[in-house]
Amino acid sequence: MSQGRPAAAPPTSGVVLLERAVAYTLGSLQLVTPEALWRPTPCQGWDLLALLHHLEDSLTALQEAVDRAHVAVPPLGADQPPLGTDQPPPPPTVFAALGVGDPGPAETAGGREAAGAVELVARLRDQACHLLGSWISEDRREPISIGGRTLPASVLTSTGAIEIAVHGWDVARACGQRRPIPPRLAQELLVLASLLVRRADRPARFAPPMRPAPQATPSDHLLAFLGRHAD
């Protein structure tokens, strides 16, 4: 960790991190109103409704990981060698294999109807709680197959915690509220993000890291590392 970052917190299990990330994001989802759905989010070019649909897709992918202990190989991406070369494709990053991280190129909900937004938020809350319950009840110890390799279940839950917490912050900002990620949670997620976010994830899934302010909080440090202004 570079000088100026908060000290690393002792490691916590991935399921516990996921639980705390879900609790934080459920609070952000309470802020969503129909009037806020068309507001921009920290994900460049995305409005809140589009981000909520992206979060729904992310929760679905993480649910598949715990239900099936397997995640399908993603389609050929820009970080893989072109067809016709002898170079084998590199294994996808965890974020790429799960299809999570920041949304892709600029996209908004366009003309999609806001009708059903209340149901969408309720569905997200149910999905998040069900996902957490699945990991807790499953107590999965065997590795999970993802992108042609196996990874410890703790890597998947840690990835999910980063995804859910950071998008929870995005939701709150789109709603005009400042809800810093809790300090202990942010410290631990920053340690994990520095290990899990790879060069191939930028700029497709995360913007380049930013320099946090001198008096930055743990939440600010995490957000800056993932390419977000915390103001």
Neighbours of 12 (CB within 10 A): 18
The 3 state secondary structure assigned to 84-102 is: CCCCCCCCCCHHHHHCCCC
Q: 3-state DSSP call for residue 80?
A: coil
Tens-digit pLDDT profile for residues 65-94: 888 887 765 544 444 333 343 444 455 677
pLDDT at residue 203, rounded to an integer: 82
How far is 203 from 226, CA to CA, in rounded Å? 10
Tens-digit pLDDT profile for residues 166-217: 999 999 999 999 999 999 999 999 999 999 998 888 888 888 999 998 899 9
Please enumerate in sequence order all residues whose Cβ is within 8 A of that of 179, keeping only pairs 6 or more positions apart, or say none: 24, 27, 28, 31, 168, 169, 172
> 5-14, 138-147, 149-158: which range is least confident on average?
5-14
How far is 16 from 4, CA to CA, in rounded Å? 27
pLDDT at residue 16, rounded to an integer: 92
pLDDT at residue 161, rounded to an integer: 95
Residue 68 — φ and ψ, nearest 5°?
-110, -10
Q: 3-state DSSP call for residue 127?
A: helix
The encoded tokens of residue 14 equal 């991935």
Cα angle for residues 39, 165, 230 (degrees, 5° grid): 60
How does residue 139 score in pLDDT terms, banded at 50, 70 and 90?
Answer: low
Mean per-residue pLDDT of the chain: 81
Distances in whole angstroms, Cα of residue 101 to Cα of each of 11, 21, 113, 136, 189: 22, 15, 25, 23, 14
Rg (CA), the chain: 17
The pTM of the full predicted model, rounded to 2 decimals, is 0.83
Q: Is the pLDDT of residue 158 over 80?
A: yes
CB 185 within 8 A of CB 21: yes
The encoded tokens of residue 9 equal 């917190």
What domains are defined for the chain?
A: 14-72+92-225 (1.20.120)
Residue type at 215 in one-letter notation: Q
pLDDT at residue 1, rounded to an integer: 44
Neighbours of 5 (CB within 10 A): 18
Which segments of the chain does DSSP mark as H helices, in order? Answer: 14-29, 48-68, 94-98, 117-138, 153-174, 183-196, 218-225
CB 122 within 8 A of CB 62: no
pLDDT at residue 88, rounded to an integer: 45
| Percent of the chain topping pLDDT 70 | 77
